[in-house]
Structure 1
Amino acid sequence: MAVAARLDSFLTRKGAPYRALPIDESASLDAAMMASGLPLEEAVCATLLVDINGVVMVVHGFNNTIDLDAVQQLIGRRLQPLTARQSNRLFGDCDPGFQPPVGAAYDIPVLVDEDVLTMPRAVMTGGTRHTLIALDNRALTLALAGAQGGHLVIRGQGNGEREALTLDEVAGKLQKLYRLPPMPALAIRILKLTTNTEATARELAELIEFDPSLTAQIMRYSRSALFHYPGQINSVQEAVTRVLGFDRVAHIALGIAAVRAFDVPRHGMLGMDSFWRHSLHCAFLCQRLAMECGADKGLAYLCGLLHNFGLLLVGHLFPGMYDELSTLRETNPDVSMHSLELQVFGGGNDQEFLAVGHGAIGGILHRLWQLPDPVVKAAGMHQQAGYHGEHEQYVLMVELANSLLKARGIGDEFNPDDTPALAASLGLDDAALAAIDGDIDAVTRELDDLAASLSS
């Protein structure tokens, strides 16, 4: 059925006609809305909240994030977001993640943001991956009859039409308006060394040993239980030649040195602790995936390690907005990062162009820093579901790695992905995916310890 059965039955019973809008099957509601080509200011979605008294649905604009304090003021209850798994259980005839914002069809009490009720037309999920539905204002009013309304979203953000900017225009604005951090000198020297096919382990070791802190971190890395080296490691050169190899040392040293360009808080969901935990896990997984896909392992590792630098740049340039983004991330765990970034940066302020997302911003930075093209593309496109184009394999590896890490609470995205589809796009079957997934459990403790040491 194109539309979920209970939704269709409810709207028919209420005399609320709708028009079905077939779309290509999508992995998530965000992807479906973005790919539909429909005006996002017409899109409506639902956030499910819960407390000891039960579940409440909040209906709001797609480009808005709910204000939990406003909800509490309206109904006197301190609610928290319902997990994706719990939400899916309440909508048995819907595809996971595609819960329609018509709570009455599922016997769920509804709050509605007052802006929704004034929409001339509303577009929403029909409960399936392949259909959206459109309702005029009269039908929408019937569908939401009995819902309690009020100011329920963060105001002044994500409202109104925005002129789309190309990435070249965004790059131009960034360079013109802000002093972008240059790549640190040590990182530049390491990067140059990696492009020299005749560079030796001794030259790399000597370069690293100019920096005592970097030396200590590389030595700690080489002695990790990850590598099971039975002997004693006494120098960086030994770490390169006996344990880690030239590429791995160069890439981790490059990442450590490059991070010094940013002044970002250590703690919180988007802090440096979480950044390193995410980056090291993603780098490990990308290298592991490259072994299965026949891709360059060193380049895949670097793509995973550096793909989230856009978040660091945002935090470095806009600490106040970064704090706001961090707060939204913590209170809206099942909302995509792209939607949250639209809230913070898309409100008609001077930084509106940053609403392209941290992925695109990171890709711009990597291009300015003259990093390898696959690294630029993996950073720039990892937020774009269904990407097809140049260096697609590396983008997909980063996306699949992030998808696998979500289940472990690692990263900045926790909304569901179509992990099997991502794996299939890389030619991986269920057995290969299960083996890779198991590898994460075997190394996560060591990677967590390394992340803690790198962020301290």
Structure 2
Amino acid sequence: MALAPRLEQYLNRKAIAFSERPIETVTSFEAAVMASGEDRGSILRASLLIDLEGALMVVHPFDSALDLEAIQQLTGRRLQPLTARQADRLFSDCDPGFHPAIGGAYDVPVLLEDEVAQWPQAVLSSGTDSSLLRLEGGNLRLALAGARRGHLVIKGQGGSEGTALTLEEVAAKLQKLYRLPPMPALALRILRLTANPEASARELAELIEFDPSLTAQIMRYARSALFNYPGQIQSVQEAVTRVLGFDRVAHVALGIASVRAFDVPREGALGMDQFWRHSLYNAFLCQKMAEMCNADKGLAYLCGLLHNFGLLLIGHLFPGEFEELNRLREVNQDVSMRSLEQQVFGDADGQEVLAVGHGAIGGILHRLWQLPDAVVKAAGVHQQPDYHGDHEVYVLMVQLANGLLKQQGIGDEFNPDDLEALSGRLGLSEDDVESLSAEIGKVGAELDDLARSLTA
């Protein structure tokens, strides 16, 4: 067990006393924090920004999110987040993603969130994936000597734990406090049709063809390179019977029709454009996994497609807070969505219930809309690591898909995840996971085109 070499040399050269906290080897700093059992209120995070003048480190509490406007006012610089790859190059002697919050060791200037200077102790990354670094208050201030200080974060530390309320309690409060949108009439008719085991492709096609826009989107989907159908497709019924199948058409149509319940901007990391991109990729991977796991392919596709509806509901009900959350997601690229949601809603007057996260919110909406139980559960707990319970296989598929997509820079989920553990619980081999990752590259262009068409 050892610190990153440059960090250890810096601390020894400055005669700064420290101790190490060993942990099991993990894949991310977020996972290290969870594994350590340390009080999250004493943990520091390093966020890396850059402009033409060079890199800058912002040192702030782990459960806080950067306010880029405040940083610009303090520095007079238009700084943007470094990508993970750029940051790893800057910390070349560290394990990927494990960046110590001591810029002096890497010749990077530091901005320090004001409150941290008064902390009696702090825990931070050691630069390795097997330990954390602990500094007492005086030594912490020595290690960060020379840092410029200011108020740099949004709403301080998140004060609400998402697990404090049950889904039933949150549902009751949401229905009491807010007017939740009903399922659009067309979506409801599609849902009722799918519940009828005797329903035919002709009935589904006729229902879809009542809506010209939905018809055009389904036809565009069937004609996409995803399916490489060699002949001509002239009607929705042909799309159902020859190319897509009843379940896939019904589920895509249900998703498209349901989204019409929400008024959400297209732009940004959480906007409608990226929502559709993330959802389509996740649904595609879930369906592939279902084939490997002997699960229901249609149900798996629907779970992946609808798992993020909670974000749309938040954007619909709270446009101002959603705009803030959208901005925080773009600026704080290494922070989990749960942390950001707690920043925005954890201490907001009357809105604390929303700090449970968009997953739980989406699950509640799906339950009110009487969607299948597996869809409710996959949405409701997809942010919960180590979930065990009803419809577990569908939850795990959504979580694994999100983890694989995160590696490709797709989606909004930056929660710590263990892909090996997730795939193992699904009974998938390393080769299976590699083939799923390869599939993302094969169909990426077609899924991107489809996502753009759904928001056009």
TM-score after normalising by structure 1: 0.91
Say whether the 8 Å CA contact 2:158–2:342 is kept in structure 1. no
Indicate how the Cα distance of structure 1 residues 268 and 91 shifts in structure 2: closer, same or farther if over 3 A, else same: closer
What does residue 316 of structure 2 align with?
316
Shift of 1:447: 1.9
Indicate how the Cα distance of structure 1 residues 415 and 358 shifts in structure 2: closer, same or farther if over 3 A, else same: closer
Say whether the 8 Å CA contact 2:161–2:355 is kept in structure 1. no
**Greater mean deviation of Cα atoms: 191-200 or 240-249:** 191-200
What does residue 150 of structure 2 align with?
150
Indicate how the Cα distance of structure 1 residues 182 and 67 shifts in structure 2: closer, same or farther if over 3 A, else same: same
- Alignment of 1:181 with 2:209, yes or no, is no
What does residue 441 of structure 1 align with?
441
Shift of 1:319: 0.4
The alignment of Structure 1 onto Structure 2 pairs a total of residues equal to 455
CA distance in 2, matches of 1:28, 1:265: 31
Task: Please give the residue correspondences for 1:37-436 in structure 2 after superposition, counting only pairs within 5 Å.
Answer: 37-154=37-154, 156-158=155-157, 160=159, 164-413=164-413, 418-436=418-436
RMSD: 2.5
Q: Deviations over 1:5-51 (max 9, x none)?
A: 44445445544444443444443222333454443222211101122
CA distance in 2, matches of 1:434, 1:243: 27
Q: Deviations over 1:57-103 (max 9, x none)?
A: 11001122222233333333332211111212233443322212122
Say whether the 8 Å CA contact 2:28–2:129 is kept in structure 1. yes
CA distance in 1, matches of 2:337, 2:159: 20
Say whether the 8 Å CA contact 2:160–2:355 is kept in structure 1. no
**Greater mean deviation of Cα atoms: 158-167 or 69-78:** 158-167
Shift of 1:110: 1.8
CA distance in 2, matches of 1:349, 1:369: 27
**Greater mean deviation of Cα atoms: 18-27 or 217-226:** 18-27
Shift of 1:418: 5.0
CA distance in 2, matches of 1:128, 1:27: 10
Indicate how the Cα distance of structure 1 residues 31 and 182 shifts in structure 2: closer, same or farther if over 3 A, else same: farther
For 2:278, give the aligned amino acid: H
Say whether the 8 Å CA contact 1:158–1:344 is kept in structure 2. no
Shift of 1:321: 0.6
Say whether the 8 Å CA contact 1:157–1:342 is kept in structure 2. no
Say whether the 8 Å CA contact 1:381–1:387 is kept in structure 2. yes
**Greater mean deviation of Cα atoms: 376-385 or 9-18:** 9-18
> For 2:125, what is the secondary structure of its paired residue?
strand
Indicate how the Cα distance of structure 1 residues 388 and 123 shifts in structure 2: closer, same or farther if over 3 A, else same: farther
CA distance in 1, matches of 2:385, 2:10: 32
Unaligned stretches of 5+ residues in structure 1:
none
Indicate how the Cα distance of structure 1 residues 167 and 7 shifts in structure 2: closer, same or farther if over 3 A, else same: farther
CA distance in 2, matches of 1:87, 1:235: 51
Shift of 1:417: 5.6
**Greater mean deviation of Cα atoms: 306-315 or 93-102:** 93-102
CA distance in 1, matches of 2:290, 2:158: 41
Say whether the 8 Å CA contact 1:307–1:362 is kept in structure 2. yes
> For 2:334, what is the secondary structure of its paired residue?
coil
What does residue 32 of structure 2 align with?
32
Say whether the 8 Å CA contact 2:345–2:352 is kept in structure 1. yes
CA distance in 2, matches of 1:150, 1:268: 27
Indicate how the Cα distance of structure 1 residues 225 and 75 shifts in structure 2: closer, same or farther if over 3 A, else same: closer
For 1:405, give the aligned amino acid: L
Shift of 1:140: 1.6
TM-score after normalising by structure 2: 0.91
CA distance in 2, matches of 1:95, 1:272: 35
Shift of 1:324: 1.0
For 2:455, give the aligned amino acid: S
Shift of 1:182: 1.5
> For 1:176, what is the secondary structure of its paired residue?
helix
Shift of 1:325: 1.1
Aligned identity (percent) is 67
